[in-house]
Chains A and B, each alone.
Chain A
Amino acid sequence: QSALTQPRSVSGSPGQSVTISCTGTSSDIGGYNYVSWYQQHPGRAPKLMISDVTKRPSGVPDRFSGSKSGNTASLTISGLQAEDEADYCCCSYAGGSLVFGGGTKVTVL
């Protein structure tokens, strides 16, 4: 069982928006602004999509956005595209350690 809770899967049609939630506690997500989101395709290295809750690294499309409220972080993909179909995993600093979500499969219908 992962420390952070994510839905197993979400889906949407091209052009739609989807939001992935990531729920932790006050000892991780709620206590620090070090939440990252990763996109991962099978056999590939995780790709950083969001850091520090809301920051997009260079090269990440602006249709990806991050937010946080209390102990829950969220990743929103606006204007879903076929290439966004992948696994997405959240990560939070937890005061000395890192905790991860179990991953969410995003399917583009």
Chain B
Amino acid sequence: EVQLLESGGGMVQPGGSLRLSCAASGFIFNTYAMNWVRQAPGKGLEWVSGISGSGYNTYYSDSVKGRCTISRDNSKNTLHLQMISLRAEDTAVYYCAKVSEIRGQGTLVTVSS
């Protein structure tokens, strides 16, 4: 069965950085696009970034473009999101998704001074 386990969240000051990770299992990882999705407190789900199966193509929402870098290690079935210059509005639970499937509990990122 598909399993996705997010990690790496935490509390960070404005301007700080974090690296999120997602360990994937139960499917042929390198054949699927992967995405990061977030949900701010009291808000709906918001797409953050995506990457093709090969890792060659990457995509970003306007809200994080220039501040986030998505990557994947197909040898370790792992997805990453490097976030820099974090802002209060980046506070959210971050989920990874196998294409459009969110399967995990997410990892909480809190940006606060």
Contact = CB atoms under 8 A, between A and B. Distances in A.
Interface residues of B, number: 26
B101 A100 contact: no
Contacts of B104: 45
A48 B44 contact: no
B57 A34 contact: no
Interface of B: 1-2, 33, 35, 37, 39, 44-47, 50, 52, 57, 59, 61, 93, 95, 97, 99-106
Contacts, number: 59
B57 A100 contact: no
Contacts of A89: 44-45
Smallest CB-CB A-B distances: 6 pairs: A98-B47, A96-B59, A36-B100, A34-B100, A91-B100, A51-B101
B47 A97 contact: yes
A45 B100 contact: no
Do most interface residues of chain A lie in helix, strand or loop, or is the interface mixed? strand
Contacts of A79: none
B103 A48 contact: yes
B94 to A, nearest CB: 11
